[in-house]
Structure 1
Amino acid sequence: MSEQNDSGRVRPTRRRPTGRRRKPRARRRRAVVVAVWSGAVLILGAGAGLGYAYVHLDHNIQGVDINAQLGKDRPDNVDNGSEDILVLGSDSRAGANHAYGKDEGGARSDTAMVVHVYPGHTKASVVSIPRDTLVDRPACAGAEGAAVPAEHRVMFNTAYEVGGPACAVKTVESMSGIRMDHYIEVDFAGFTKLIDQLGGVEITTTRPIKDGKSHLDLAPGTHTLDGERSLGLVRTRKSVGDGSDLGRIQLQQAFMKAFIQQVKSVGVFSSPTKLFGIADTATKAITPDSELDSVKELTSFARGLSKLGADDVHMVTMPVVYDPVDPNRVVPVEAKARQVWQALKADRPIPAAATQDTATGKADGIVK
């Protein structure tokens, strides 16, 4: 694992008026969480190179105002150079996502990553939170304003199910002690279209991956994955490592690095037509918080991320072990998890010791 240099932090203090989403929108199913780069970095060129399409792209973006629901009982809003973003994928099969399976109830956040961008915005750490982590979920306000009571030892991904984005953010802030500056949610169907617009993503497998549920069959070697096969990869669980969600997280992290590399190398800004297609797809594929719900705001946000390359992003999974009561669940290793969150709060590298001797899923190195 790579480490970053120590640095300082920034947090936006601007608040938007209270309110709900500007338009109702189907909740999202899990996908590798590439929204930070796909939904923002690619839009960077939209404001400058696609002025004629500005209004069209702006109309695509459907924001959600979580600040009003969260209220004032939150970690300190510190302004000293960094940003923290909660990026979620969720499991609704509604709308265009119905092709990927049967909807079996409320949406849950099957993929969750805290992205910490260090001051100077040349380094970042990503902490994946396993969906099956048993947590103490705090009381929160749901999407319609109804009170959601606190619960002890419930799966992390139920926070989104019972209270939507604001409850998911509050749960992460309660766990980490870190205020989330932004929230971005990824659309399952839009993810596949975005990968296709980019011309696919190149990955190398060191072992065969054959998974009936995700319809993926890859021999060892180098592959350029289109959208459907990329989605299959990040959904794969049973056929890699120990078959747990932790193994799937390792695949997602490896794919995310390959995706960042693809975004950097594809040269989308040299072709206005190609840029518009990618920006159009990207703005439809995400639901950001209300402070990022316009092309202008996303463009400004993207400028802060445009220096990041694959080698600049350090990815870990929140330290967990399998629950002794239920081996299908995991629980945080409290002392080690505190090391992770305290490092981010202090804008320091995550120490290697924080993730040693914890559950991993045993899928590391299968995808490069």
Structure 2
Amino acid sequence: MRRIAYLAVAVLMLGVGACTSDDKKPEAAPSASAASPSPSVQVSPTPPAGVDIKGPLNILIAGIDNRESIPNWIPRSDALMILHVNADLSKAYLTSLPRDLVVNVPAFPPAKFGGERTKLTHAMMYGSRVPGTKKPSVQQGYQLMAKTVSGYTGIPKFDGGAVLTFRGLTKLVDALGGIDVYVDQKVVSIHRQPDGKVRPGCSRCEHGYSGPRMTYNVGNMHMVGWQALDYARQRYTNGGDYTRQRHQRQIIEAAVGKILQGDFLSNPASIDKVVGALGEMLTVVGMQPVALAYALRNLTPQSITQVGLPGSGAYSGSRYIGENLSSAPQKSYFQALRQDKLDAWAAANKKYVNVGSPQG
């Protein structure tokens, strides 16, 4: 999608939805067989879908590991981002939450889950369980994930959201003809060989894999689908999972830039075609992506600000239990987000803004 709708489809992430100011659908245009109006009568055109979407908006975007090769694998969220769009829909802020963030996952009756303090990635897993069947529900998992993130951030509700699988991201980037990314630090893959083949498993080897490793060197790089996914997944790097979060945001930004080279907005059918091609690899929550694409038509990559909130490991005694975000930055960030005052926050916290953005 030309603007944020494709941004969200792009990652991890995903042709998103949003809530409109009311639940009424625009009236359908008259069919060709309908009686023609009198020449003296002026007929108002049908308003475009999305014309009634108002800001500010908060959109929850997730990339999940659903192990498509394993039947009925319970999905886990591997990447989680919050996109905040300001009141006049002219600017947006994108930030990440660590997959291992220690949070309170609330009770969730549809999955017969009683609640637990655990890693954020488990919210999708617990919420996706459907009593009486082995087949998980991503829509249901999203509901618990959204409730968990709302409880942590204080965001009362999300106006829309989307979930994309690993294979869906690969397919999307390839559909775009690849994307151009600035690699800001050397990254050595644990999953892939230089030719893209999966590295063989090895129980005695570092990280459980053996063989040659794909390496992403500092500089501009054109990435195809498997490379974009592989680069976005690596966390055994300098900076660990916080570096991985930054790289995931870079992939989104690069995808948006590539999308803007086309004329998707003038051809809504192309949006539906890409979203439809992803099928079950993409779960959209809210209205159709075409509506949001229209509402956010004035956004550009330059008006989207990346924010990297700092954090560190959380421990129970000497046992690692997950990640904690640094208290002051995350509290002030989400307070400013709820008040739609992120421009002022970004001006006062420049060290957390746009770290690792594309160069060259």
* TM-score between both structures, scaled by the size of structure 2: 0.68
Whole-angstrom CA distance in 1 between matches of 2:72 and 2:278? 27
Residue 104 of structure 1: CA displacement?
Answer: 11
- Give 2:259's aligned residue: 263
Contact persistence 2:14–2:162 (CA under 8 A): yes
Contact persistence 1:319–1:355 (CA under 8 A): no
- Give 1:150's aligned residue: 115
Cα RMSD for the two superposed structures: 3.4
Is the aligned partner of 1:119 residue 2:87?
A: yes
Contact persistence 1:190–1:281 (CA under 8 A): no
Aligned length: 280
Is the aligned partner of 1:129 residue 2:97?
A: yes
- Give 1:84's aligned residue: 58
AA aligned to 2:11 is V
- Give 2:12's aligned residue: 33
Identify which of 294, 298, 311 aligns with 1:320.
Answer: 311
Q: 1:149 to 1:255 in 2, by over 3 A?
A: same
Whole-angstrom CA distance in 2 between matches of 1:105 and 1:284? 14
Contact persistence 1:191–1:227 (CA under 8 A): yes
- Give 2:24's aligned residue: none
Q: Which runs of 5+ in 1 are unaligned?
A: 1-30, 41-78
Query: What's the CA shift string for 1:291-314, capped at 9, x where partnerless?
Result: 32xxxx321122122322111111
- Give 2:40's aligned residue: none
- Give 1:303's aligned residue: 294
Query: What's the CA shift string for 1:140-160, capped at 9, x where partnerless?
Result: 23xxx23321223x1011111
Contact persistence 2:67–2:73 (CA under 8 A): no
Query: What's the CA shift string for 1:266-318, capped at 9, x where partnerless?
Result: 345688997775354356542012x32xxxx3211221223221111112234
- Give 2:277's aligned residue: 281
AA aligned to 1:345 is R
Q: 1:103 to 1:222 in 2, by over 3 A?
A: farther
Alignment of 1:172-183 (within 5 A): 172-178=149-155, 179-183=157-161
AA aligned to 1:175 is Y
Q: 1:345 to 1:162 in 2, by over 3 A?
A: same
* TM-score between both structures, scaled by the size of structure 1: 0.66
- Give 2:162's aligned residue: 184
Whole-angstrom CA distance in 2 between matches of 1:206 and 1:169? 31
199-208 or 160-169, larger mean C-alpha shift = 199-208
Contact persistence 1:198–1:266 (CA under 8 A): no
1:116 is paired with a residue whose SS is strand
Contact persistence 1:111–1:131 (CA under 8 A): yes
AA aligned to 1:176 is T
Contact persistence 2:56–2:85 (CA under 8 A): yes
Indicate the structure (1 or 2) with the bigger Cα radius of gyration.
2
Is the aligned partner of 1:211 residue 2:175?
A: no
AA aligned to 1:241 is N
AA aligned to 1:150 is G
Contact persistence 1:205–1:366 (CA under 8 A): no
> In percent, how many aligned pairs have the same letter?
25
1:257 is paired with a residue whose SS is helix
Whole-angstrom CA distance in 2 between matches of 1:224 and 1:122? 29
2:74 is paired with a residue whose SS is coil
Alignment of 1:40-119 (within 5 A): 81-94=55-68, 98=69, 106-119=74-87
Contact persistence 1:121–1:307 (CA under 8 A): yes
